[in-house]
Structure 1
Amino acid sequence: MHSIDTAPQVSLQPWSEAGFAVLRRQNTPEMTEHLGGPESPEKLADRHRRYLDPAKNGTMFLVVLPDGQVAGSTGFWDHEWEGEPAYETGYAILPEFQGRGLAMAATLAAAEAARADGRHRWLYAFPSVEHGASNAVCRKAGFELRGDSEFEYPKGHFIRSNVWRLDLATD
């Protein structure tokens, strides 16, 4: 598994009102191509409100560079997989910051936060089988490919996803 020391430097800041601007910038056909397309303004506002309440909806973060620029978002939330409680993670890096290893760095940082949370052993990610870059993030971050599955995201939209799993009980 990769060490955070070898990944680009990012910090995770708790989701805040600033996150709504990031969600709007991520809500483009290019960034949502493998997620069912852009959401309506109402759905985006609902998502933002959910992200502001980690006790109910998981822990979302803004991905911040050392110079203070917000490069994207990541997080983890409860998700049952194959009858076992686990976490799920997701990540989205804005286009102008892509290709620098920031998604992997953010995913590793989110995994550390999930490990510190300590309620579940496993962290899963479910990128579309057709999303090469997102699958590469999982592979480079040390996740194990467990197969593929039909996966619903967002609600009402099914995609064929790879099932990636990271053991939070090991370093």
Structure 2
Amino acid sequence: MADVRIQPWIEGDLDLLRQLNSPEVRRHTGGPETDEQVVSRNARYARPSGTGLGCMFTIALLDGTKVGSVGYWERAWRGEQVWELGWAVLPAHQGRGLATAAVLATLDAARAAGSRRWAHAYPSVENPASNAVCRKAGFTLLGETEFEYPPGHLIRSNDWRIDLTGKTEK
């Protein structure tokens, strides 16, 4: 597995978020946002993680170079509260297992929060790399679903789920 660290997002990570706002990185998530939207997203990401509502992290190489984002947050899904996971890696660092390693570390953080049994990820059915991350991280594919992201934009996604408690799937 790739050697990465996840670090809580801080206001100073705005430049990384701007780099992640490229057409190549955001092609499966509605395309690039305006700079105003990126600044607003950065402020949300940098909120203290002790709120119990989730946490955003930077993905950092062992030398400290920040190469992506990963996080988990609350979502109501099919009648229950779950964690949703999402991630992005800069193009120059893709294909090296960094996203999978970061997702595994984030799942550990979500487990430690202890407030949800299930974590889900909803990558586009047309995003083979993110679907592979789900598979490698141990998620179970529940099937395709229509998913709204960004708000007002429906995409065809896969619904991947993982049990954070270690119990057998029901």
TM-score range (shorter-chain normalised) is over 0.9
Three-state SS of the structure 2 residue aligned to 1:115 is helix
Q: Deviations over 1:92-149 (max 9, x none)?
A: 0111111100000000000000000010000100000000001000001100000111
In 1, are the aligned partners of 2:125 and 2:156 still within 8 Å (CA)?
yes
Tell me if structure 2 keeps the 8 A contact 1:71–1:94.
yes
The 2-side partners of 1:58 and 1:21 are apart by: 22
Letter in 1 for 2:18: R
Percent of paired sites with the same residue: 53
Name the count of aligned residue pairs: 165
TM-score (norm 2): 0.93
Residue 112 (structure 2) aligns with: 116
Structure 1 CA distance for aligned equivalents of residues 53 and 36 of structure 2: 18
Q: Structure 2 regions of 5+ residues with no counterpart?
A: none
Report if the CA contact (8 A) 2:11-2:43 is conserved. Answer: no
Which structure 1 residue ranges, 4+ long, deviate > 3 Å from structure 2? none
Could you tell me which amino acid in structure 1 is paired with residue 90 of structure 2? L
CA RMSD of aligned residues (A): 1.3
Question: Is 1:44 matched up with 2:38?
Answer: yes
Given candidates 18, 24, 30, the residue that maps to 2:24 is 30
**TM-score, normalised via structure 1 length:** 0.93
Q: Structure 1, unaligned stretches of length 5 or more? A: 1-6
